[in-house]
Structure 1
Amino acid sequence: MTTVEITRFRVAPERAAELLATRAGMVADFEVDREGFLGAKLIQLPDGEWLDIVEWRSPADFAASRAKGGNLPGVQAFFAVIDELVSSEEGTLR
């Protein structure tokens, strides 16, 4: 079954455009470097909060991605814009 990574974070409102500009690079890095990456959706919430929903083929693929962290420039650039991690959860798509 598909594993879903749900991450909520804060970005300063004046950096929202930068976050969006770095998103394509992060997704491109995931596509070439993260086995089992199926896709991602970024949702803007009120008050500078964002919700990132990433789908993985399996829990093992998600765990392997987490272990890599910000290992590539596109991922690093996206992570660098984030001011605060609010929450991170893992679920199963049914």
Structure 2
Amino acid sequence: MSTVETVRFKLVPGTDTTAFESLDRAVEDDYMAKRPGFLSREVTRGDDGEYLVIVHWATPEDADATMSGFFSAAETQDFLAAIDKTTVQSGRYVRIAR
């Protein structure tokens, strides 16, 4: 069964959304997609400016391994600097077989 991670957040006030979304694509292409067990990633933005990121992993171990290095990776620093850390909410789920 695959693992699904969700992360909700808002940007630091004054952050340009177009510039952030370019950083987001770079994080996916240059960091997330290169990690073992990465299956897919979806990014959405609500009318209130809140982002919801949904990431699918092959296993919880794959998710753990990637996230253990996420906050210190050179590829993620500009992305992380744009996020208002006080708004971050995350969750992890197991996909139900159908």
TM superposition score category, shorter chain reference: 0.7 to 0.9
Q: Secondary structure at the match of 1:24?
A: helix
Richer in strand (by share): 1
Q: How many residues align?
A: 93
Unpaired stretches in structure 2, ≥5 consecutive residues: none
Partner in structure 1 of residue 70 of structure 2: 69
Q: Residue deviations 1:12-33, cap 9 Å, x none? A: 364211211112211112222x
Q: Which amino acid aligns with 1:48?
A: G
Partners of 2:8 and 2:69 in 1: CA distance: 19
Q: Which amino acid aligns with 1:70?
A: F
- Identical-pair percentage: 29
1:86 aligns with 2:88: yes
Partners of 2:80 and 2:7 in 1: CA distance: 12
Q: Secondary structure at the match of 2:24?
A: helix
Q: Which moved more, 1:77-86 or 1:45-54?
A: 77-86
Q: Kindly report structure 1 stretches of 4+ aligned residues shifted beyond 6 Å.
A: none
Closer/same/farther in 2, CA of residues 76 and 14 from structure 1, 3 Å limit: closer
What's the TM-score, normalizing by structure 1?
0.85
Partner in structure 1 of residue 39 of structure 2: 38
Q: Does the 8 Å CA contact 1:26/1:77 hold for their aligned counterparts?
A: no
RMSD of the TM alignment (CA)? 1.7
Q: Which amino acid aligns with 1:61?
A: D
Q: Does the 8 Å CA contact 2:45/2:51 hold for their aligned counterparts?
A: yes
What's the TM-score, normalizing by structure 2?
0.82
